[in-house]
Amino acid sequence: MLSKQTFENNIYMKLFRWLYILLMGNLCLLGVNLPFFVAAICLAIDIRNLPLFIFSLFFIGPGFITLFALLDRFKEEKEIEPVLVFVKEFHQFWLRGIIYWFIGWFGTILAVTDGLFFTQWSVGYWMIPFFILLTGMCLASSINCWYFQVRNPKAKKRDILRIAIYYTLRKWYISALNVLLFLLIFIVMLLKPAIGFMITPILFMGLIYLNVKKQANLKNKDKNKKT
């Protein structure tokens, strides 16, 4: 006889439940990133609107570190209440999310403004690779800070910054991939808002989470081999 499947052992029900958790995570992220959502919907993609976009991006740090925390809880427990978890983790990490995001946010502003200034002269175009590298390093450092703070909630900011910068430089190829995925989130948000705000953030941040986790695991394996 065929055994009667319940919600707990039905793979399709589990997949539906997991999709629901991820979708609700996206909706919660949308709620805390409302300033950028309004800017993306209401403003044209124009250089004159750049200050407003930059200002709206200042508030995204708490949302993304909380999304990392949600993904971490989901990986560990699988069955969670996404809204309750998001609210709880947001309350715990929002301030440090802003602090760590300031690295990427301010570094990007500095690179863009200086890049526009130097490109007024032909010699200044040789500086573009430097500004791209500066942007990538600052964004990668913010991403790594979010991850390691979530994984070590009681760690001091100084220690988190040190290990984040270490991994940014040591595993530069993973950092470059994570920055590319992170930038794609906002590109899709601007070009296809329906998909960009409802689907892609949790997918790309999930890939970034796995990448940072993998680089940390590789470091631990290297330590074990030496010992």
Q: Give percent above pLDDT 90 in the chain.
A: 66
| pLDDT digits 0-9 by tens, 24-79 | 999 999 999 999 999 999 988 888 888 899 999 999 999 999 999 999 999 988 88
**Mutual angle of helices 50-57 and 34-42, in 10-degree steps:** 160
Residue 9 has pLDDT above 80, yes or no: no
The per-residue DSSP string of 148-201 comes to HHHHSTTS-HHHHHHHHHHHHHHTHHHHHHHHHHHHHHHHHHHH-HHHHHHTHH
pLDDT recorded at residue 226: 47
CA distance 59 to 36: 8
pTM of the model: 0.88
Range with lowest mean pLDDT among 29-33, 46-50, 81-85, 145-149: 46-50
Range with lowest mean pLDDT among 2-11, 163-172, 182-191: 2-11
Work out the average pLDDT over 206-227: 74
